[in-house]
């Protein structure tokens, strides 16, 4: 890790940046996010961690263009975000699959929205299902899949968009501990494999550190970015890394920042 602070990295490596980003709801009485500054490098895995109401989901929706900021500006690949765009894709806590479509047809949805899928698109969808380990379930309907498998389909659909900025809003939050841990490992491998930049919202500190290159620690009332913690742990990371001294130092650092509030 040559450069410990993201602020120093050269500008052409920055894919997502925010300057004084703020968002208020309900006629300005609820401040969801206040004065956020960030510069995220290409290929980084960024975790957003904090208590509920700290604005982490709001920040994700602002980056995605689903909601506009009240103040400041977010830029992706150097152009300001004004609405949903092709280079950004989002995954939700619920799998949000369409019940009447098979797994592969669900994966093809983003392609269908942009036009008629070609044979190459269909092959890509099948390859992505392979990548998430579901090639045997390509023609199953969501109701025939477990919760974890449904989220894998959602992950394949996320990748099918071809976006290089992935926004993940507690994607495995509704799953049991074992499935979540397993899918986190898969997610880490896949994001690295496709070379995407990822934003991952969670309220689990260990999970945030384990996955990330940078952990954005957020605090609530008003939602604020309190600190960005760099995670200099080697990759690939085995699950056992979570018991190491370095790892626990990072956990302590994040906890302290959260505890200050």
Partner 1 sequence: MHNKNSPATFWVFEFIFRVLPHLVLFAVLIWLWELAVGTGFITSIIIPRPSKIGGAIVELYITEGTIYRHFFITLTEAVVGFLIGATIAISLAVSSSLSETFKRYVIPYAIVLNVTPGIALTPVIIAWFGYGMGSKIALAAIISFFPIFVNTLTGLVQVDEDREELFQSLGATNYQVFRKFRVPAALPLMFAGLKIGLTTALIGAVVAEFAQATDGVGVLMSRFSFQLNMAASLATLMSMTTIGLILFYTMEFLDDRIVFWRRENRRAAASRARARAWKNQL
Smallest distance, partner 1 to C-beta of residue 174, A: 12
Smallest distance, partner 1 to C-beta of residue 150, A: 13
Nearest residue to 197 via CA among 165, 170, 154: 165
Helical segments of the chain, H only = 56-64, 103-107, 109-114, 119-131, 147-160, 177-194, 205-211, 245-259
Determine if 170 is a binding residue for partner 1 (CB under 8 A).
no
Stretch that binds partner 1, among 20-28, 103-111, 206-214, 239-247 (CB under 8 A): 103-111
Rounded to whole angstroms, how far apart are CA atoms 201 and 48? 5
Nearest residue to 170 via CA among 147, 202, 148: 202
Residue with tokens 């909601």, as numbered in its chain: 67
Contacts of partner 1 in 65-94 (CB under 8 A): 66, 83-86, 88-90, 92, 94
Stretch that binds partner 1, among 20-28, 40-48, 49-57, 112-120 (CB under 8 A): 112-120
Is there a contact between 47 and 208 (Cβ–Cβ < 8 Å)? yes
Residue with tokens 């880490």, as numbered in its chain: 188
Determine if 171 is a binding residue for partner 1 (CB under 8 A).
no
Contacts of partner 1 in 130-149 (CB under 8 A): 138-141, 143-144
User: What are the residues binding partner 1 (CB under 8 A)?
Assistant: 64, 66, 83-86, 88-90, 92, 94, 96, 98-100, 102, 104-105, 109-110, 112-114, 119, 122-123, 126, 138-141, 143-144, 161
């Amino acid at each position: 890790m040559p450069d410990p602070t993201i602020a120093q990295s050269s500008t052409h490596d920055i894919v997502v940046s925010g300057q004084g980003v703020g968002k208020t709801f309900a006629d300005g009485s609820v401040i969801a996010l206040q004065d956020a500054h960030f510069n995220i490098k290409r290929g980084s895995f960024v975790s957003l961690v904090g208590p509920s109401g700290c604005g982490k989901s709001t920040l994700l929706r602002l980056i995605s263009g689903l909601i506009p900021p009240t103040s400041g500006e977010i830029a992706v690949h150097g152009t300001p975000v004004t609405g949903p765009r092709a280079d950004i894709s989002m995954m939700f806590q619920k799998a949000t699959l369409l019940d009447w479509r098979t797994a592969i047809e669900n994966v093809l949805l983003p392609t269908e929205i942009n036009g008629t899928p070609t044979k190459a698109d269909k092959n890509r969808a099948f390859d992505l299902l392979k990548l998430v380990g579901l090639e045997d379930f390509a023609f199953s309907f969501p109701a025939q899949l477990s919760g974890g498998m449904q989220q894998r389909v959602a992950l394949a659909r996320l990748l099918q968009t071809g976006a290089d900025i992935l926004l993940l809003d507690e994607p495995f939050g509704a799953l049991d501990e074992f499935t979540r841990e397993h899918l986190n490992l898969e997610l880490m491998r896949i994001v690295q494999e496709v070379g995407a930049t990822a934003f991952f919202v969670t309220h689990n500190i260990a999970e945030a550190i384990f996955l990330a290159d940078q952990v954005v620690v957020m605090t609530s009332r008003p939602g604020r970015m309190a600190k960005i913690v760099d995670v200099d742990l080697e990759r690939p990371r085995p699950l056992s890394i979570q018991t190491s001294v370095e790892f626990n130092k990072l956990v302590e650092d994040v906890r302290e920042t959260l505890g200050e509030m």
